[in-house]
Amino acid sequence: MNQLQSLESYSFYLTVIAYFLAMMVYWIRMGSKNKAVGKVAAVLAVIGWAGNTITLITRTMLAHRLPLSNGYEFILTFCWATVLILLYYEFRFKLKALGAFVMPVPFLLLAFIVMTMGANERIIHAIPPALKSYWLTFHVITAIFSYGGFAVSFGLAIMYLIKTQTGTNPNVGIVARFPEAEVLDELCYKVIIFAFSFLTLVIITGAIWANYAWGTYWSWDPKETWSLITWFIYAGYLHARLMYDWKGKRAAWLAVFGFAAVLFTFFGVNYLLPGLHSYA
């Protein structure tokens, strides 16, 4: 048991260090013409993701359940999904600069754990009866892929806004390393479709779980309310895009605003608006 606990701790800090170094090297890569720098950044991200995976596996073995039951575990899985989706889009679409805008998200999330969560908050406790449901597993798994996808769409939206900034020459400096603005806009849209689909499942599975745990499908708990607000923001994005051909800066700013709502749904609700989800 002690060996597993040590492995979880070592792999966690390996993840933090690798994500930090990956973020820094991605930033350096934007100002460097050396292609090897980009490869180093990707390798560091993969190492961090491997460490993240080992942390989750050891946590599962220690707890005898999937690591989906508290804030510490959710952040770990959120980071895992974010980097997985980032790496997929980086390699699939050759988006070498994307990591510079997405990697800060998992690093800062893990830094939040290091700075604010003591040993007692990270120790394995018996889970409340409300969490002993298969619906919790479906609910949280859909949430991590939804949030991870929105984190990547945020990075793509920021890249688009920088690429199209007034007075910026798209063929000079770091923006010359970005794909064309139209490509960034289209990829952001596709990632949001992916993440929005999972967010819809988050709300559906959450309602089923709520009925199982508390006897009602919807109780206007702060977490439920803000999840619904976030859903409406991204639904508005997709509606405006499909019906009114919203593209470009308006769509990019809405994607940024949507991710801010995602972060508030987790951090703001959990730490400022306690409710039925206060343990999550």
Q: pLDDT tens track of the chain, all 280 residues?
A: 588 888 999 999 999 999 999 999 999 988 887 778 889 999 999 999 999 999 999 999 998 888 888 889 999 999 999 999 999 999 999 898 999 999 999 999 999 999 988 666 677 777 776 667 777 888 889 999 999 999 999 999 999 999 998 666 666 677 878 889 999 999 999 999 999 999 999 999 988 887 877 778 777 788 888 899 999 999 999 999 999 888 989 999 999 999 999 999 887 666 665 555 554 4
Burial 145-172 (b: 16+ CB within 10 A, else e): bbbbbbbbbbbbbbbbbbbbeeeeeeee
**Which pLDDT score, from 0 to 100, does residue 154 have?**
98
Q: What's the CA gap between 77 and 66, in Å, rounded?
A: 10
**Which pLDDT score, from 0 to 100, does residue 34 have?**
78
Distances (CA, A) of 253 to 153, 160, 257: 11, 10, 6
Residue 149 and residue 85 in contact, taking contact as beta carbons nearer than 8 Å: yes
CA 133: distance to chain centroid? 24
Distances (CA, A) of 42 to 144, 220, 229: 21, 42, 34
The model's pTM is 0.91
CA 127: distance to chain centroid? 24
Domain spans in the chain, listed from the N-terminal domain onward: 1-119, 128-274
Task: Quickly list H helices, 123-247.
Answer: 134-163, 181-214, 222-244
Q: In this structure, what token pair is assigned to residue 164?
A: 């199209």
Closest by alpha carbon to 147, among 226, 210, 94, 91?
226
Q: What's the CA gap between 227 and 261, in Å, rounded?
A: 8
